[in-house]
């Protein structure tokens, strides 16, 4: 344990900001998960997970990465860039694609109409605080981020097939770059299969792939949980822990 403490102390040394905004959010998100998992696991393995989690949390909170400093890398501006005289970083993480589906005992037309009004999203999406419609295509989303901080992004509708499919993507400058879609496939006896797909671009750099793997496992469960709340909301008219009852707007 003393070795772990020494490593932690050596890693948590402050410095100038050299980590981009999206990468900082991802570091805090992944770090919080690993820290909590390490505490539950216990033992040497848990201590190691806790160490990695603490380093990522510190990286996100301070915006400083010692590895980046050693390599002369700075991603704090838009896109990764090498410091003067340094070689550019390679091996940026690939995008993460998440997909979940559920069968709802309601007609596709009803489900589409409720989802298409994006201001309803806080009633079934757990971390969404509010959605403000700006026009027929664009909406401003606010979500709860690490440590209660607010994350905002502008979403633009890219496809709208009434009663069948909705697709969107975030606009440049968003805190959380993402794109996604939802499809409504009618079944028998008034049932509808709802398939929700979400894609986001994790940070590049030296730890991007590791953070992406952690976030993928967590976020897939979040998407599935949102669909379960959506099902309960549409079938029973109410849900627990995700905002207002059916028929209301945020």
The pLDDT tens digits for 3-32 are: 544 444 444 455 677 666 666 767 766 666
CA 222 to CA 215: how far, in whole Å?
Answer: 10
Mean pLDDT to the nearest integer, 42-50? 59
pLDDT, tens digit (0-9, with 9 covering 90-100), for 137-148:
999 999 886 666
- With a threshold of 0.75, does the pTM exceed it? no
Query: Helix axis angle, 108-116 relative to 208-236, nearest 10°?
Result: 120
Assess whether pLDDT exceeds 50 at residue 92: no
Q: Which two tokens stand for residue 250?
A: 């945020």
Mean pLDDT to the nearest integer, 109-125? 97
In three-state secondary structure terms, 186 is strand
**Structural domain spans, the chain:** 2-82, 96-236
Q: Which of 159-163, 180-184, 190-194, 203-207 has the lowest mean pLDDT?
A: 203-207
Structure confidence at residue 6 (pLDDT): 47
Element (H, E) at 142: strand 138-144
Instruction: Provide the CA 76 distance to its chain's centre, in angstroms.
Output: 20
Residue 190 Cα distances to 101, 161, 231, 233, 239, angstroms: 17, 19, 14, 16, 21
CA 206 to CA 114: how far, in whole Å?
Answer: 41
Superfamily of domain 96-236: START domain (3.30.530.20)
**Mean pLDDT of all residues belonging to the chain:** 74
DSSP tag of 242: S
């Amino acid at each position: 344990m003393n070795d772990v403490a020494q490593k932690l102390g050596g890693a948590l040394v402050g410095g100038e900001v050299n980590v981009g905004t999206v990468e900082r959010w991802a570091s805090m998100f992944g770090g919080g998960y690993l820290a909590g998992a390490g505490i539950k696991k216990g033992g040497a393995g848990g201590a190691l997970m806790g160490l990695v989690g603490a380093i990522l949390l510190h990286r996100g909170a301070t915006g400083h990465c010692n590895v980046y400093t050693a390599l002369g890398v700075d991603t704090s501006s838009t896109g990764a860039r090498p410091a003067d005289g340094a070689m550019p970083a390679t091996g940026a993480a690939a995008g993460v694609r998440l997909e979940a589906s559920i069968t709802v005992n309601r007609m596709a037309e009803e489900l589409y109409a409720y989802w298409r009004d994006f201001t309803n999203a806080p009633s079934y999406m757990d971390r969404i605080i509010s959605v403000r419609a700006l026009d027929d295509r664009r909406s401003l989303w606010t979500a709860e981020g690490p440590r209660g901080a607010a994350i905002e992004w502008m979403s633009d509708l890219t496809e709208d097939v009434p009663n069948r499919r909705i697709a969107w993507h975030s606009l440049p400058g968003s805190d959380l770059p993402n794109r996604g879609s939802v499809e409504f496939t009618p079944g028998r006896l008034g049932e509808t299969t709802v398939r929700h797909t979400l894609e986001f671009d994790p940070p590049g750099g030296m730890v991007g792939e590791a953070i992406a793997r952690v976030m993928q496992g967590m976020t897939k469960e979040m998407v599935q949980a949102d669909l379960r709340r959506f099902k309960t909301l549409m079938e029973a008219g109410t849900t627990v822990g995700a905002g207002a009852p059916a028929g209301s707007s945020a």
